[in-house]
Amino acid sequence: MIVTLKTGVKKTEIDEVLAKIKELGFTPELSKGTEKIVIGVIGEGNRAIAYRNVFESMEQIETVTPISKPYKMVSREFKKTDTRIDFDGFSIGGKNIIVMAGPCSVDTRDNLLRVAKELKKMGAHILRGGAFKPRTSPYAFQGLGEEALRYLAEARKATGMPFVTEVMDTRQVELLERYADIYQVGARNAQNFELLKELGSSRKPVLLKRGMATTVEEWLMSAEYVVAKGNPNVILCERGIRTFETATRFTLDLNAVPVLKHLSHLPVFVDPSHGVGVRDYIAPMARAAIAAGADGIIVEVHPNPATALSDAHQALLPVHMAQLMKELRGIAAAVGREL
């Protein structure tokens, strides 16, 4: 349930509402908009509804609105305005389209520094690179671990680009907290609830990929785990779902973009690389993602795909990525955005 306060309420009046919420055994979540102050009354299930009258009779409260969804704080009902994550001099979820790009996994220092410099030159904002890789086969390359994090930190220093990297387990959080700028939660961990709760204690943004068999509602509940634990900086990332179709690696569900924009205030990204898994189809789907209203994309780029140790056949060459950036600029402008 959310309560909306009357315009112009004083601090003491806000405190009274907060105290009442706590007295009844709920957790208050304050959200100050430009015009209105709303407070989420968070408790198990829909227990808060029973106290609707109590809140309606309080002087300083204008309206009481039950939230019928199983997720609360990430819902559009809780917060009407888009969440913007201000970060390292730019804003995720604002007018500007943000591009994350880099290799699937960090393999050599040389390759990483090379690609990072090229990406910076073409105007990408955030470097991606896996240090811990979730591989389907236990015999496939598992990532360079901390060595990769050192290379990523070096690339950040050389280019000024922050980096996003995947966290697979709660035991990796302590190490990654020291290196990473943005946590990536992969499709295979989209419902690793202990991990999501742990990331709720961080203030670093979390790029939350959609599970390959996760509904939009389940995905938003995953996001709720992070936000409810105290970290509001969640970015949702569509990366393709499992369907009967085998022509592409997954089926990129671009429907999810407007659906999420309707249901939630969180920024929405699209990962066309995993969504299609075929080099030639990535650019068209990246273009479609921006046209559909995504706030950004994450794309795999490798300076020499033939030697890449994971996802080689979906890696774009830097020259392809530079061309895509140009095309995306035109599409961004056509939909009232900037890149």
Judged by the rule CB under 6 A, the positions of this chain that interact with ligand PEP are 104, 130, 134, 186-188, 209, 239, 271, 274
- Minimum CB–partner distance for residue 230 and ligand PEP (Å): 24
- Minimum CB–partner distance for residue 212 and ligand PEP (Å): 7
Please list the alpha-helical segments (H only) found in the chain: 11-23, 52-56, 109-122, 146-159, 173-179, 193-199, 216-228, 256-263, 272-276, 279-292, 318-334
Q: Are 130 and 165 in contact (CB under 8 A)?
A: yes
Residues 8-47: x where in contact with Mn ion by CB under 5 A, - otherwise, as a string = ----------------------------------------
Residue 313: Cβ within 10 Å count:
11
- Residue with the shortest CB distance to Mn ion: 104
- Minimum CB–partner distance for residue 104 and ligand PEP (Å): 4
Nearer to ligand PEP, 156 or 239 (CB): 239
Give the rounded distance of the alpha carbon of 238 from its chain centre.
Answer: 9
104 binds Mn ion (CB under 5 A): yes
Sign of CA dihedral 45, 49, 50, 56: positive
Give the list of residues 6+ apart from residue 256 with CB closer than 8 angstroms, or none: 210, 216, 238, 268
The rounded distance, in Å, linking the Cα atoms of 192 and 195 is: 5
107 binds Mn ion (CB under 5 A): no
Q: Which does 152 bind (CB under 5 to 8 A by kind): Mn ion, ligand PEP, none?
A: none
Q: Are 37 and 18 in contact (CB under 8 A)?
A: no
Q: Which does 239 bind (CB under 5 to 8 A by kind): Mn ion, ligand PEP, none?
A: ligand PEP
Q: Are 115 and 303 in contact (CB under 8 A)?
A: yes
- Minimum CB–partner distance for residue 130 and Mn ion (Å): 7
Using CB under 5 A, which residues numbered 267 to 326 contact Mn ion? 311
Q: Which does 302 bind (CB under 5 to 8 A by kind): Mn ion, ligand PEP, none?
A: none
- Minimum CB–partner distance for residue 68 and ligand PEP (Å): 30
- Minimum CB–partner distance for residue 58 and ligand PEP (Å): 45
Give the list of residues 6+ apart from residue 277 with CB closer than 8 angstroms, or none: 240, 248, 249, 250, 311, 313, 314
Nearer to Mn ion, 104 or 282 (CB): 104
- Residues near Mn ion (CB under 5 A): 104, 311
